[in-house]
Amino acid sequence: MSNYPTCPRANIRLCAAMVAMVISGGASAGDWNGLLQLSVASDDNVSLTDSNDIVASNESDNYIEVLGSASRYLTGNKDNGVRFIGTLFNREYDTEDGFDFTLLGAGLGYDRKLGDWNARFEANYEYLEFGGDTYEKILHVSAEGRHKFSKKTELRVRYRYSDINAPEDAFSNLEGDRHQLRVEGRFRSGKNRYRLSYTYEDNDRDDRTTMTTFSSSSPIRHILRANAKVPLNAKWETEFDVRYRDSRYKDDNVSGGMSTRRDDDRFRAKATLKYKLDSKTKLFADYNHFDNDSSIDTFTYKRNVASVGVEHFF
């Protein structure tokens, strides 16, 4: 069993998070909101394999990553308006180009003030390549509600449906759909900002079947996240992000006449340091640690990624 498709999933979530941050502003029709980000990084486990496995490649490599995203209200504003959303994400490894990843996305959003809630409805289409091959084509439809209890406390609830098409044989097991429901609380204390969230995810994929084997690609996931942004002074800011993901696959994997249900527990910790050059441009350095424990040894791995870069908002 190959765990290649595991790697790009984190990138998809990164893009989604960054786009959500960019389009959260209150620009009026005709104004563009956007983000450009460039970084270089060192990845000590590109292939997501267990370094204790004697047959594991456990390859390390460096990569360059580019993210560009932009949104514009075609009509109205955040209280009642229609937005265009566009995204480009690309990761290029130095030598392990079989893990290069590209995402192109575009969509429309409708924002509306509904009583004490700010509602957001979106439809996005994403085209993804992995290792130079078409990986997935995804249609996302989502609805989100935001309610402020005070200037310091906010509740966000989002549902997202994804229709996933995976045209290449290597990834055909990933075709299907995904449902996500996220509940998030945001809090402020002085200049510090905190987030706590829970996400429920249900995947129904085609899975991978041969004459003698079966491999499930359809997990139910529970994701817990805690995030803190703490300014040190007018120029420096730190951010800490911790996530735990519980994945329970719906069917037993079958190989060699034996069956095993795949259960994964993944812990991720991230620390970031940012330096403000001006009101729109920041330098950053961050460190990510991943630790995935699985009931199937093939999917157990540890990974460390360190990166530095620059981001510019417009």
Domain of residue 135, CATH code: 2.40.160.60
Integer Cα distance of 69 and 65 in angstroms: 13
The pLDDT assigned to 223 comes to 98
Residues 87 and 106: beta-carbon distance below 8 Å? yes
C-alpha span between 128 and 37 (Å, rounded): 19
pLDDT at 210: 85
DSSP string, 79-125: TEEEEEEEEEEEEEESS-GGG-EEEEEEEEEEEEEETTEEEEEEEEE
170 assigned to some structural domain: yes
Domain count, the chain: 1
Greater confidence (270 vs 257) lies with: 270
Read off the pLDDT of each residue in 135-140 and give the average, rounded to a whole number. Answer: 96
In angstroms, the first-to-last Cα distance of the chain is 44
Q: Is residue 30 part of a domain?
A: yes
Range of the domain at 144: 6-313
Other beta carbons less than 10 A from residue 277's beta carbon: 11
How confident is the model at residue 222, as a pLDDT? 98
Cα–Cα dist 239/34, whole Å: 21
Residue 25 within any structural domain of the chain: yes
- The reply to whether 276 falls in a domain is yes
Its pTM stands at 0.89
Residue bearing the bigger pLDDT, 54 or 44: 44
Cα distances (Å, whole numbers) of residue 295 to 14, 117, 191, 250, 259: 26, 43, 42, 14, 11
Question: What does the pLDDT read at residue 53?
Answer: 56
Model confidence pLDDT, tens digit, residues 141-170: 999 999 999 999 999 999 999 999 998 788
Q: Chain-wide mean pLDDT for the chain? A: 89
1, part of any domain: no
Based on its alpha-carbon atoms, the radius of gyration of the chain, rounded to whole angstroms, reads 20
Nearest to 183 by CA among 167, 159, 166: 159
pLDDT in tens, 225-266: 999 999 999 999 999 999 999 999 999 999 888 899 999 999
Q: Is 300 a residue whose pLDDT tops 90?
A: yes
Q: Is there a domain that residue 108 lies in?
A: yes
Assigned token pair, 263: 């259960």
Phi, psi of 173 (to 5 degrees): -65, -15
pLDDT reported for residue 58: 56
pLDDT, tens digit, for every residue of 1-23? 333 334 344 444 444 444 444 44
**Structure token digits, residue 25:** 């502003």
Return d(Cα 262, Cα 6) in angstroms, integer: 14
The DSSP symbol for 55 reads: T
Is 111 domain-assigned?
yes
Which two tokens mark 121?
A: 């409805």
pLDDT at 49: 84
Q: Is the pLDDT of residue 56 over 50?
A: no
